[in-house]
Amino acid sequence: MTSLSMQPYKGTRDFYPADMRVRNYIFDTWHKVARAHGYEEYAAPVLEPLEIYTAKSGQELATEQTYTFTDRGERVVAIRPEMTPSISRMVAARRQELGYPARLYSIANFMRYERPQRGREREFWQFNADIFGVSGVLAEAEMLTMAYEVVKAFGASDDMFTIRINNRKLIDEMMRSYLELDAVQANLMVKLFDRKNKISPEDFRDQAVDIFGEDAAAGGTAKIAKLITVQQVRDLPKELQEIEAAGELLELFDLLETAGVKNARFDVTLMRGLDYYTGTVFEVFDTHPDNNRAMFGGGRYDGLVGLFGVEPVPTVGMAPGLTPTQLFLESHKLLPEFVSTTDVSIVVPSRETTESALKIAQELREEGVNVEVDISGRKIDKQIKAVLKKQVPFMVFVGEEELKSKLYTFKDVASEAEEKLSLERIVTRVKDYRRKGMMDEIDALFVE
């Protein structure tokens, strides 16, 4: 008989308790930032009709990367590869009942069939935040400020990341009038710009020449060479500075400066691959040399709600991912030390005291202490080794002497210090420990 594999499906992760502590820390931080800005949580089905992805997400995502199947009712459905079409559908369905601006967020998992690599998995988790109903750049400024605060909430300093910003209307005008490309060429050039930092300068140049064609290549590549040196909106060629999108970007950068976002910059090569973006686009980049990559991005997409047969609703959103966030925190050594969510493990020296230990555990639980009891009947050294593996911060020994005196041996696992305490004092010690942990987290937020 062939044994089953112990490995998870390719491109997915198992989350053991230690992994869940990291995941929950990241999720909890996302929840706090979203709620602090007035965003309300929602959820959506993991399955959607395939057509809502083919309509606007782009053919590569909808046809090559999406897990699809035909259900028993002969409907073609997909495991969601992203949340944007789902929340757009939900807003379209309740558009008259929502209060605008509608600030909505979720933390959910997704599936995409793509090649697993560092920071990219087939099953992945994202924090999706969107603001519906605001057409001006104040919405972009709010979303970008929240993106900034999402990273800062983990204790990051400004030099650890940058926020790169562009505008799809500027990109379209740049392709059409400045580079003088037709629709097919423009689409190819956008995709090439999107890959610029992933290929060599020589490959970028050669592919650009192919897109322009032999006659236009010399002039076109010269214009591109000029474009990629641009550092600020005011440095754009004059004909691009005069368009509406350039003015929007200038206003946006002023708003970000006022909000205290100091590490945002204009990046004329930033495209964002998904087809549905209609205005500002942005990506948050890790500056660490070992993890120099985009962490997450977002932008304005005003057309998706309208695809459901209703009036369009202007929208700006972003989607930080779990794994890229964890890589960022690990690269910059920002992850705290985690222990078990169990506060106390009761070690039982003999089977005769097990029943009493269970009663004591219940008394502690009634006081808000998270307690486990070793009911295995193993020798005491093996019980202690199990506690160490589980990373439970405290041990309480319940033997016959402790039961007689009602003073229990209380051991701090980290310091190995032991003392005899009453149950009331054990409760106080555990709550003091928790309180100190909370204060340390708060202090860390104010340390640059």
**Band (58; pLDDT cuts 50, 70, 90):** low
Q: Specify the DSSP class assigned to residue 353.
A: G
Average pLDDT of the segment spanning 295-311: 94
pLDDT of residue 173: 93
Where residue 309 falls (left for φ over 0; alpha for ψ -120 to 50; beta otherwise) is left
Q: Rounded CA gap, 277 and 84, in Å? A: 11
Q: Rounded CA gap, 262 and 253, in Å? A: 10
pLDDT greater than 90 at residue 430: yes
Average pLDDT of the segment spanning 128-155: 97
Cα separations in angstroms, 322 against 121, 169, 171, 292, 370:
10, 30, 29, 17, 27
pLDDT greater than 60 at residue 119: yes
Average pLDDT of the segment spanning 280-305: 94
Nearest CA to 45 out of 100, 85, 75, 92 is that of 85
Domains of the chain: 17-331 (3.30.930.10), 344-441 (3.40.50.800)
Say which residues have a Cβ less than 8 Å from residue 176's Cβ, sequence separation at least 6.
186
**Band (276; pLDDT cuts 50, 70, 90):** confident
Are 106 and 31 in contact by the 8 Å Cβ rule? The answer is no
Average pLDDT of the segment spanning 124-134: 98
Q: What is the pTM of this model?
A: 0.90
pLDDT tens for residues 358-390?
999 999 999 999 999 999 999 999 999 999 999
pLDDT of residue 397: 96
Are 181 and 189 in contact by the 8 Å Cβ rule? The answer is yes
Q: Rounded CA gap, 429 and 21, in Å? A: 22
DSSP codes of every residue in 106-129: EEEEEE--S--BTTB-SEEEEEEE
pLDDT of residue 441: 57
